Chains A and B, each alone.
Chain A
């Protein structure tokens, strides 16, 4: 028998949150774009350079909103051999760059959003953890 987890009302809850601070989305969108670009720059700066193709393949790809009060951007390293550089091969030592840089980017974005939410007079509680 399949296990089903159903969460009702998530979009309604997000909509409610958006109404609490109507300017928040407008403020947050450029913030996220800036942090994503900064993260991409950090990745580019740390990647090894032989031909420059790996560095040139780093891009920020905007992701369409999946619902109210949702924002997403993706930092992509498009070169086919990017994972070999990050994780190594039997012939090449690993050079982890992407995972730590994007983790720092996610943390920076969450911190920036929390600061904006607090600036609107709303409280933010709980523990933040990288997922």
Chain B
């Protein structure tokens, strides 16, 4: 049975297994919100999801629109560009192995670069930069 959450989990696990990305964002890869106290982290957000149903009860394919962004608290010149570039190397036209999730990846590609303005925390004046991209993942359940 198709379980899209397993695709989300597989994407997070894939990113979290990359040593180069973790070297740039040592607080890890998180779903939707970073943990409290994190200062250099990758966050994966599901922006949109759409099923393309088949004629019977099957799903032909699913389209997920993820925002994958590095969030860096700016201390000692730390910037998110390197992590964003690594995220892109890992995801843009990547051949993702989703078989443990019961899915076959069709295509994964960046559809938009993401670089919002600086965020300043009003409680402590901490300055944060974010950078990453929106990635479209098309996949279909194999079972």
Residues of A within 8 A of B116 (CB): 83-84, 87, 89
Q: How far is the CA of A96 from the CA of B43 in the complex (A)?
A: 14
Q: How far is the CA of A100 from the CA of B48 in the complex (A)?
A: 5
A91 adjacent to B32 (CB under 8 Å):
no
Task: Answer whether A90 and B45 are a contact pair too, CB < 8 Å, given A83-B116, A99-B65, A130-B63.
Answer: no
**Interface residue tally for chain B (C-beta within 8 Å):** 22
A interface footprint on B16-48 (CB within 8 Å = 1, 0 otherwise)? 000000000000000011100000000101111
Cβ distance A114 to chain B, nearest Cβ, rounded Å: 16
Cβ distance B44 to chain A, nearest Cβ, rounded Å: 10
Q: B28-84: which have CB < 8 Å to A?
A: 32-34, 43, 45-50, 63, 65, 67, 69, 71, 73
Residues of B within 8 A of A89 (CB): 116, 119, 128, 130
A94 adjacent to B128 (CB under 8 Å):
no
Q: Does A103 contact B (CB under 8 A)?
A: yes
Extra contacts besides A100-B49, A130-B50 (9): CB < 8 Å: A83-B116, A87-B67, A87-B114, A88-B32, A89-B119, A89-B128, A91-B121, A96-B47, A103-B48
